[in-house]
Amino acid sequence: MSGQLQALSVPAAQIQVRGVEISSRTGLLAKQQKARFLLVVEVEPALLPQVLGVLADQKQVELQRLEWVFDEFEASLRLGPQAMRKAR
């Protein structure tokens, strides 16, 4: 998935694994265990629809949080609703 995001011009430095969760009934690690990754991707608003498309095409990916950080409040008023329409 990282390669697909980088193909969209998302720099590797803006793709971070912030956590890994592995659960085991026995306490031992095995090949057949499932792992859960917390992935943080920073993108410009213009790339958001493509990034969401890459994530939606993956199996067993769940978007739990989308955080918007705007330099100017006015920009958030204009771009926020537009991005939400595209994300749907």
pLDDT digits (tens, 9 = 90+) for 26-83: 777 777 778 888 999 999 888 999 999 999 999 888 888 888 776 666 766 777 788 7
Supply the range of the domain harboring residue 76.
Answer: 2-87
17 DSSP β-pair partners: 39
d(CA 39, CA 54): 13
Nearest alpha-carbon partner for 20 in 3, 39, 33: 39
Q: Is the per-residue pLDDT at 7 higher than 90?
A: yes
Domain count across the chain = 1
